[in-house]
């Protein structure tokens, strides 16, 4: 259990966006996994099996709570240069891009967000993703591709919203 604690918790957190809720979902997932052991196919990888259980628990919690609130995911601060020099412009730009990307990501449906998180945050292989998402291995690529397309669309929408907001501010203060 110790080996999978972090990845199970992070999966739940990516769906729920709250540490306390994610902790409860993690506990539920391990308890359910314990009782599901007899149905576990020997030789199958453990990690995606646990992640599937954890994701179900997290989704159920989110559904039961009728959550509509935005996820509280956030990007950690970059370490400033040790010599006290000014932050390079490129680093500031990268941080801004990460925030924009996260803004778009949290607007996605949980299924799309989870497919992206499994691939790029947790680093699951396609076979592991299929097991964790409970889909056929042949459909993983199309699910991921669909999620990325929606992410692009959302990124564009977010950028347009920001442009409109910036335009309003200029009008007010100009």
Which of the residues 1 through 30 are near other proteins (CB under 8 A)?
1-2, 5-6, 9-10, 13, 19, 22-23, 26-27, 30
Total site size for other proteins, rule CB under 8 A: 48
Which two tokens mark 80?
């400033």
Cα–Cα separations (whole angstroms), residue 164 to 4, 102, 112, 153, 170: 44, 19, 27, 17, 10
Q: Confirm if 75 and 95 have CB atoms less than 8 A apart.
A: yes
Least distance in angstroms from the C-beta of 46 to other proteins: 8
Cβ neighbours of residue 7 closer than 8 Å, sequence gap 6 or more: 47, 50, 51, 122
Task: Assess 152 for contact with other proteins (CB under 8 A).
Answer: yes
Near other proteins by CB under 8 A: residue from 65, 69, 92, 159: 159
Least distance in angstroms from the C-beta of 121 to other proteins: 3
Q: Confirm if 12 and 58 have CB atoms less than 8 A apart.
A: yes
Task: Assess 92 for contact with other proteins (CB under 8 A).
Answer: no
Q: How far apart are the first and last CA of the chain?
A: 59
Task: Assess 160 for contact with other proteins (CB under 8 A).
Answer: yes
Nearest to 147 by CA among 108, 112, 104: 112
Nearer to other proteins, 108 or 130 (CB): 108
Q: Tell me which residues touch other proteins (CB under 8 A).
A: 1-2, 5-6, 9-10, 13, 19, 22-23, 26-27, 30-31, 34-35, 37-38, 42-43, 73-76, 78, 94-95, 97-98, 101-102, 105, 116-117, 119-122, 148, 151-152, 156, 159-160, 163-164, 166-167
């Amino acid at each position: 259990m110790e080996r999978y604690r972090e990845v199970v918790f992070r999966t739940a957190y990516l769906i729920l966006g709250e540490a306390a809720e994610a902790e409860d979902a993690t506990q539920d997932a391990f308890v359910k996994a314990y009782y599901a052991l007899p149905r576990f196919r020997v030789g199958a990888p453990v990690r995606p099996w646990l992640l599937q259980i954890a994701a179900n628990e997290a989704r159920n919690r989110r559904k039961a709570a009728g959550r509509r609130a935005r996820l509280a995911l956030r990007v950690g601060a970059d370490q400033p240069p040790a010599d006290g020099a000014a932050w390079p412009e490129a680093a500031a730009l990268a941080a801004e891009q990460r925030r924009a990307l996260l803004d778009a990501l949290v607007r996605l449906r949980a299924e799309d967000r989870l497919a992206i998180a499994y691939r790029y945050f947790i680093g699951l292989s396609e076979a592991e993703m299929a097991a964790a998402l409970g889909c056929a291995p042949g459909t993983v690529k199309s699910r991921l591709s669909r999620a990325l397309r929606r992410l692009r669309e959302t990124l564009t929408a977010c950028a347009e919203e920001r442009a409109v907001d910036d335009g309003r501010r200029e009008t007010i203060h100009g």
